[in-house]
Amino acid sequence: MSGNEARLKAISAVINYQPISAPLNFAETSTGDLFASNVFSTSVMKSRLPKAVYKSLLNTIEKGEKLDTSTADVVATAMKDWAIDKGATHYAHVFYPLTGRTAEKHDSFLSPNGGGSAIAEFSGSQLIQGEPDGSSFPTGGIRPTFEARGYTAWDVTSPAYILENPNGTTLCIPTAFVSWSGEALDKKTPVLRSMKALNQQAQRILKLFGDDDGAMVTATAGPEQEYFLIDQNFYYARPDLLTAGRTLFGAAPPKGQEFDDHYFGAIPERVLACMLEVERELYKLGVPVKTRHNEVAPSQYEVAPVYENANVATDHQQLMMTTLDKVAQKYGLTAIMHEKPFAGVNGSGKHVNFSFGNATQGNLLEPGDSPVENARFLIFCAAAIRAVDKYASLLRSVIASAGNDHRLGANEAPPAIISIFLGDQLSDIFEQIKVGGPKPAVSQDFLNIGVDTLPPLPKHSGDRNRTSPFAFTGNKFEFRAVGSNQSIAGPLMVLNTIVAESLDYIATKLESAEGDFDQAVQAVLHEIITEHDRIIFNGDGYSEAWHKEAEEVRGLPNLRTTYDALPEIASPEAIALFEKYGVMTEREVESRLDVYLEQYVMAINVEANLTVEIARTMIYPTVIRYQGELAGSLANLQAVGIEGDSELLSEIVSCSKALLGAVNQLEKLNGQHADGLRAEAKHACFTVVPAMGEVRKIADTLENLVADDMWPLPTYQEMLFIK
């Protein structure tokens, strides 16, 4: 089958699509009964565990108390019985290695009893610890190949769940993944450590404000997942999408997203059916999905959960991506999570809504109803401002990837410059703190803080700014620069740690202050906003003027590429930060840098190889065939005295030669190797990527010159608009 025949067959299959999945009967179970029905939740624990064991587990989950491992056998038996009642035959320790994806090791409950039969067993030791290969995942040198031992450790704070399959179910137990010598080999462990650090420092602030009941402060997160859905027939006809997750070729369609008619438009029927089943499956797993809608680009969509415990939200985000991928296939669709699968239209982000609070005081980033609550809110808000300004480069490093490089700085995503949007009203509050007093006129919509030298505080502090990487949205910060294909673990780990460091700084200042506490609060707020207000920007982040002002006037870092940004995670300042708060050791930090640099280099290498392969085996042969056909047609016309369009032929001949030359050059450059990972990454970023762009530029020109019935690849117009 020729490339063009495959493309035409794909179009025909899409047009004639028939659902392969039977319609769901939503009347069978109410949403309330469905939610968390496959989760070993606290309510299930309460009904199946002895009271003392349940109370012990609850203290670990809700108060952060040390896990009592002596209860493990009792918990394991109850968990096994519950899972078997749900049809489970196996259990799996689920962990999150540095690949950024989910890993599972499945084991059967059944054990031979020596009498020709088997019994179902699951012990406390099996619950607490598993042993996958510690050297077969990215480790950055922590685990050499000949030292293979690694352990998974039960994370009691993230509930176990049942994963359904048409042929059975599996009990899934979220776990940490560490080496034989104790280093973190995963995404989860540093998040848990950072949440502990945040709680410890937040408790000091709360105690100063008289809120010393000890209720654990927990970071919360709600990641909004953007993604594309295209028909599988198109997906499998595009080797670049299949292997690299993005199109390496593709001319802009006559219509893109300029009409803004897709955004929040009516959801296509097949897509809506897919979304409904995704939500149903996520409800069973206790994932609190709340919102679904069309995004700006054609065939782009979003699903968003209510925010929850940051560790659980991180696990749920992985489940969300897996579920999207699995369910989409049932509807003949492919869910694409790459940050920029289609050039020229909006890319996809994963906006992470971040806050922190506890069961007693609630959300600590929400203005309150009393002067003390509002002063406390300003302290926590100021801590975030200081943290983001002081560690802007570190925040940029944990969102760096080959995919996100194509998105950040484009006109649908925040720039690579990290800044904070507070809104005009909240910015004005901090400006008044900076200059030393409130404005004379106070609107009735403002809240009284009760300190004469502090300004009144608005409950709703501003509009939204879609160009800001880090925006305050009323009672939380939204980290908008995170890529759609990334785990949210890295960003949350850094946010927790840098806010903990700022709270430590503020608590130390206030604890050592003499005299009036309100004046000490004002002094700390004044100091922070005076030293760190450069990070606050409420304007248009897309404008060239902002880029110039940010770099030249404010001195903010502009780390444009992954190569520029990644080393910041292992800067001396970052290593000192992580070690001080017990989040990561120097060895763990440096191993992550090595892993991420290697992943970046490999991603570019795969894309370059694909570019060469597709250009040589699909595009160039098509162009040569059309060139011959066109030359023959022109010769036939001339034979009968008709003058044909020789300019088109000349342009195609010129472009085909240029294409072959660019492909040869790309292959040569991609075959060159530098000394060391950083040098390889530099070569990939500044040499290989531009060479790929040159091949694409020529090929996309040819797409608009070659006869449509011969072009071998599904076009943007087809992939984005035929549903």
Bigger pLDDT: 322 vs 27: 322
> Which residues, 6+ apart, have CB-to-CB distance to 60 below 8 Å?
66, 67, 68, 156, 157
3-state secondary structure of 556: coil
Token pair for 151 = 């352990």
Bigger pLDDT: 23 vs 172: 172
Give Cα separations from 537 to 420, 435, 534 (angstroms).
6, 18, 8
Distance CA 482, CA 496 (A): 15
**pLDDT at residue 495 in the model:** 98
Q: Is the pLDDT of residue 139 over 60?
A: yes
Distance of CA 194 to the CA centre of its chain: 18
CATH top class, domain 35-185: alpha beta
Q: Where are the alpha helices (DSSP H) in 367-475?
A: 371-390, 392-397, 402-405, 424-435
Bigger pLDDT: 68 vs 500: 500
**pLDDT at residue 461 in the model:** 47
Q: Residues 694-709: pLDDT tens digits?
A: 999 999 999 999 999 9
Mean pLDDT of all residues belonging to the chain? 89
Average pLDDT value for residue range 50-58: 93
Q: Residues 422-459: pLDDT tens digits?
A: 988 788 888 888 887 655 433 445 555 555 555 655 55
Nearest Cα to 181, choosing from 644, 665, 591, 685? 591
**471 pLDDT tier (thresholds 50, 70, 90):** very high
- By percentage, how much of the chain surpasses pLDDT 70? 90
**pLDDT at residue 442 in the model:** 39
Token pair for 359 = 């069961």
Distance CA 606, CA 331 (A): 29
**pLDDT at residue 4 in the model:** 72
Nearest Cα to 223, choosing from 544, 486, 594, 543? 486
Bigger pLDDT: 17 vs 59: 59
3-state secondary structure labels for all residues of 474-530? CCCEEECCCECCCCCHHHHHHHHHHHHHHHHHHHHHHHHCCCCHHHHHHHHHHHHHH
Q: Residue 563: what are its φ and ψ, rounded to 5°?
A: -60, -40
Q: Residues 68-78: pLDDT tens digits?
A: 888 889 999 99
Q: Is the pLDDT of residue 610 over 70?
A: yes
Bigger pLDDT: 671 vs 372: 671
Q: Residue 351: what are its φ and ψ, rounded to 5°?
A: -65, 120
- With residue 334 as reference, give the H or E element that holds it: strand 333-336
Give Cα separations from 504 to 64, 366, 496, 497 (angstroms).
19, 20, 12, 10
Q: Is the pLDDT of residue 577 over 80?
A: yes
Q: Is the pLDDT of residue 259 over 80?
A: no
Q: Is the pLDDT of residue 604 over 90?
A: yes
Q: Where are the alpha helices (DSSP H) in 415-454?
A: 424-435
Quick check: pTM over 0.85? yes
**582 pLDDT tier (thresholds 50, 70, 90):** very high
Using CB atoms within 10 Å of the CB of residue 671, give its burial: 0 to 12 exposed, 13 to 18 middle, 19+ buried: exposed
Average pLDDT value for residue range 238-263: 88
Distance CA 55, CA 672 (A): 61
**pLDDT at residue 449 in the model:** 52
Q: Residues 311-350: pLDDT tens digits?
A: 999 999 999 999 999 999 999 999 999 999 999 999 999 9
**573 pLDDT tier (thresholds 50, 70, 90):** very high
In this structure, of 55-64, 126-135, 394-403, the range with the lowest mean pLDDT score is 126-135
**pLDDT at residue 441 in the model:** 37
Distance CA 655, CA 419 (A): 43
**pLDDT at residue 474 in the model:** 85
**266 pLDDT tier (thresholds 50, 70, 90):** confident
**pLDDT at residue 637 in the model:** 81
**368 pLDDT tier (thresholds 50, 70, 90):** confident
**pLDDT at residue 179 in the model:** 85
Identify whether the C-beta of residue 180 lies closer than 8 Å to the C-beta of residue 169.
no
**pLDDT at residue 262 in the model:** 75
**411 pLDDT tier (thresholds 50, 70, 90):** low
β partners of residue 106: 92
Q: Is the pLDDT of residue 39 over 50?
A: yes
**pLDDT at residue 433 in the model:** 87
Q: Where are the domains of the chain?
A: 35-185, 195-223+352-597
Average pLDDT value for residue range 554-565: 94
**387 pLDDT tier (thresholds 50, 70, 90):** very high
Q: Is the pLDDT of residue 79 over 60?
A: yes
